[in-house]
Structure 1
């Protein structure tokens, strides 16, 4: 059916190519910031694993004692104003909500808080250039990391990183999933192939600086950050991410029987009716646990307490055996390329 959209994909491809030429010829200018800028992006829609890479790079910089700012769009959040939160912020007034920050932003904030060295802050802005300029002018960080910024060429970057998975080829939008032609990869400084939880076979990328990584399951955690008392053998699972198949595969690889699986659209805003459907599937399938991703869990955990759905959602994550999979990124090939480019960026 998507083949009918090929003429529109051709038009989109031409528009993207012309735009890139204008940037290359400096007809359209990029803004240069005082801080060093690292962009982490991709060339396709869907979950390639950009945000876990942002977290990985942020931890490297924090461990070096750097002051960093992460700028992200906060996809599917309800409010569109600029939000700023420091790492380790104590949310005593319940200002951190998924409605204001978005799920991936809060995921980053949770995982990067508690770092003993370095300083960091999170800036959520629909306009990434505005968010980055605010961070640069007002807070003066050493490094600004822009999440999902390969196409966001309004900002000049000092290190351009592109994350790929096995779906990085095909047609341009809307007939396919590509946001840019594959040839645009020549613009990247580093390409990182993310295998996630499986050994994917990817046709050789004709590029000099290519590294590879995968996801590793750390543990399952609940609302109080506790691990389950017994091994998880079966579950009802749900997720609202770009690549729900990878989450399902992760559960199977770890020998968990998925008795019931519910998939939602990426960055899904859960409502009381959705929670009722998950609980119904959990009970009818006679599962022992309910599992989800950390991105989905923070979406639920940080639901605005003023929301009409808050009571149902809060009761669900506090009183049912709901756990999220905490994962981390592990490099399997050429991590030294990334280390070298970061050291070069910092003049080490």
Structure 2
């Protein structure tokens, strides 16, 4: 958390940024800019905050539900921090450098089942899919993508940092004002404790509802960690070193602490592109029978560093999303 003094210094910048956001949204609201509607179904998933809110596992949850219903699906992402530009339809020749870490994770997980694309211009990508055999387009990190009129707008908010307690950037981490949550068709609070009490839920709902349209469903999800899967090496050891470059890794580290003997943690910025020197610091701690444990998003990057990690025991922990209180987004997707 930033100090009160820092907030005072940052306040004028927040005012300027906030005025820009107000103007941008106003121009869309008065139809100066007109969002494009597409024939193929479009589901937008995003958040109000800068940083992690669990978009990736929720997109994967949607994909798995829609695949079971025999839909042809395309995931369209901006491809944050990629080294390329323009539109790319992912193939085996791509890696996290060419398309970004989240798109390559989708591609590796749903290979041959889902069309994964990256493009700075989502409208262009959707136009391409209009002539393809696609039933549903999922726009990743697209709540602020107002040039597209989605059929369903899903807003995510981390329960650890709910949007209704946050402030506009740079005083806080909000990309736009709390009131703009009213564009959401659904609000999902992610990262909840699986034992969340109904009284806690009701308190969160009461605080969130003032920013939403009447009858907007509010859902609650939590993350379930699965058994580790291999990146390199053969034997998994219970003594582990953890490495992460996700926005809020504390829950991940806490899970490892509860299940294994956690020797040391290495925390990097969200979407960090590893350098050899970063991994050499990790390797330096691998003395004896120790496994390196990482997140699924990091695994798609670390697998490219076989020259350094290939002789070590490296595993990642897959995650799945589950919904609480018998109310899942799948109940609202239709047939």
TM-score, normalised via structure 2 length = 0.87
Return the offset for 1:234.
2.8
* Unaligned stretches of 5+ residues in structure 1: 304-312
8 Å contact 1:74–1:125 — kept in the other structure?
Answer: yes
Pick one of 321, 332, 335 that aligns with 1:341.
332
Pick one of 215, 226, 229 that aligns with 1:218.
226
Q: Secondary structure at 2:272's aligned position in 1? A: coil
Return the offset for 1:219.
1.3
Distance 2:262 2:152 in 1: 40
Spell out structure 1 runs of 4+ moving beyond 6 A.
Answer: 197-200
Q: Secondary structure at 1:335's aligned position in 2? A: coil
Equivalent in the alignment of 1:150: 143
Residue 277 of structure 2 is aligned to residue 279 of structure 1: no
Where in structure 2 are the equivalents of 1:255-266 lying within 5 Å? 255-266=259-270
Q: Secondary structure at 2:231's aligned position in 1? A: coil
Equivalent in the alignment of 1:109: 107
Where in structure 2 are the equivalents of 1:98-137 lying within 5 Å? 98-113=96-111, 119-137=113-131
Instruction: Report Cα offsets for 1:250-293 as digits up to 9, x if no partner.
Output: 212x332322111111111112111111101333xx66211111
8 Å contact 1:164–1:193 — kept in the other structure?
Answer: yes
Counterparts in 2 of 1:160 and 1:334: CA distance versus 1, 3 Å: farther
Matched residue count? 315
Q: Secondary structure at 1:75's aligned position in 2? A: coil
Residue 15 of structure 2 is aligned to residue 17 of structure 1: no
8 Å contact 1:197–1:250 — kept in the other structure?
Answer: no
Equivalent in the alignment of 2:94: 96
Return the offset for 1:197.
6.2
Q: Secondary structure at 1:251's aligned position in 2? A: helix
8 Å contact 2:48–2:143 — kept in the other structure?
Answer: yes
Where in structure 2 are the equivalents of 1:1-348 lying within 5 Å? 1-85=6-90, 91=92, 95-113=93-111, 119-137=113-131, 139-165=132-158, 166-167=160-161, 168=163, 169-195=165-191, 203-204=204-205, 205-206=208-209, 207=212, 208=215, 209-223=217-231, 229=235, 232-252=237-257, 254-283=258-287, 288-301=290-303, 303=304, 313-336=305-328, 338-343=329-334, 348=335
Distance 1:198 1:315 in 2: 40
Equivalent in the alignment of 2:3: none
* Unaligned stretches of 5+ residues in structure 2: 1-5
8 Å contact 1:212–1:334 — kept in the other structure?
Answer: no
Return the offset for 1:83.
1.4
Counterparts in 2 of 1:287 and 1:129: CA distance versus 1, 3 Å: farther
TM-score, normalised via structure 1 length = 0.84
